[in-house]
Chain A
Amino acid sequence: MNLSLLILIPLLTAILLLLLRNATQVKWVALAGSALQLVLAFVLLYNFRQQRIEGNTAQILFETSYNWFPSWGISFHLGVDGISVAMILLTAFVVIAGVLVSWNVTKMTKEFFFMLILLSLGAYGFFISLDLFILFFFLEIAVIPKYLLIGIWGSGKKEYSANKLALMLMGGSALVLVGLLGTYFSGGVHSFDLLKLSQLQIPVQTQMICFPLLFVGFGVFTALFPFHTWVPDGHSSAPTAGSMFLAGISMKLGGYGCLRIATYLMPQAAKEYATIIIVLSVIAILYGAFATMMQKDLKYINAYSSISHCGFVLLGIGMLTKTAITGAVLQMVSHGLMTALFFAVIGMIYERTHTRQVSEMSGLLKKIPFVITLLFIVGLCSLGLPGLSGFVAEMTVFMGSWQHPDTFSRAATVLACLSIVVTAVYILRAVTKVAMGPLTESFEQLKDAAWNEKLAAIILLAAILAVGLAPNWLINLVSPGAEIIMQKMQ
């Protein structure tokens, strides 16, 4: 199958959106476009599995390459492996849910949906490109819409948050760019091609310099401690769909980059720096969890908990075992789906109660059972209830981390395990306060979820359950990719 379709469809949708004049048409076109993306993602999954079943064991499938700047070694080189397929599926799910929950956006509707589709375009492009230059190009495409989404459609101190987010992400991108150029010039071949670069042994000297640049650069996207502070402000100021995209997709760009670019290309350096990565990720896990405990705003709670959860991604990468890396990818998928749903639910609650302060809500289960049931489910997913996706991902990370017999890794794993208690504390405190207890009088008139909200929630929930109840398909998809990364390690 032609992977360019994944870029073309959002692109065409976006262009079509610009031509439309009527808000209703805009919504339906955006929905159709994102539904098409979802279908395409499933077709991709199906074809990918079919190829694998037929015995095609190539690392990258569906490779296509167009020359772009041959003199500089830049080509439009696309291809996917299991990890990218998982990420593309995640993106497609989050996009359609994001479009659905934004049904009631009235301010500059056309531009809003345009931005959403543009962001998805950047994400798809990022996940399928095998050329570091175009990968970087798509990374940047994914940043700009976020700035506008927060700055224009946000709430609260939106200008501050938008600036902070854009500047920190741009700073991260700058580090990435420096790292990429370093790899380009000192890697041995003057090429941006991921596959070509992975064939050769990048000199250890270069690795030791470029790896931290790339890892920290991408790490900013995925809330690496201490570069995580755009997360709470950015998420809480963004409109609902913006938060969903931010947490569900763009934090995953970073994790994917850390794994696929930094660790894959520079295994020796990854080994050298593993200790630091593990320390930082354990700090992020625990510190994020404890900081969450003190938050009073639902969006802040979820944003801080994202820091904690993304720590598991980095922990999995830092541990450098096949199981742990598989777990890291699972955690990316799981966290993407889960936080997207969480933010969607928070958006639904906010739309009805006009507050996000936990202390101002009580007993909502009585009035809006559908929304609150979702809140329960997603909260339980966040604290790792078996049967939902969080459990699978976290356990895989733990299991993978424990395979290192040294005391340091053991201690890190034990500390990371402790976070599941703290998670339970903050999730339960928030969820029970909002859902249970006597009903606040002013909320007597609330209406339960509308069709679009129900549909969005059910789509995400189905994905969460598909990962949580039958994880093997995803693991079989992802682990060959992790295997290849580990093989380079030897």
Chain B
Amino acid sequence: MQPGLYHILFISTALFFIGVYGFFTRRNLVTMLMSVELILNSVNLNFIAFNKYLWFDKMDGLFFTIFIIAIAAAEAAVAIAIIINLYRSHNSIDVEQTEELRY
């Protein structure tokens, strides 16, 4: 059986909710960052799948995917820089410990 659009969408949806679940439940900032990556990748997957199955004569989906990969890389760099700074000041990367920005 050839994998069709629905299969890929199923995988990407699963990936998305795994990411969301990880983002909400994990306390470790690095893990949360990884979860965010999962979410982004699920979106990438969607883009590619739609491009391939629905508008295979266009390239927009692919471009967007590459765009997102690049931005995700940059974002990871920034996020890790923040995490490192946070670790320096708080000695922890537990997100529960960083509540200074509340009311």
Q: Do chains A and B touch in the complex (CB under 8 A)?
A: no
Residues of A within 8 A of B (CB): none
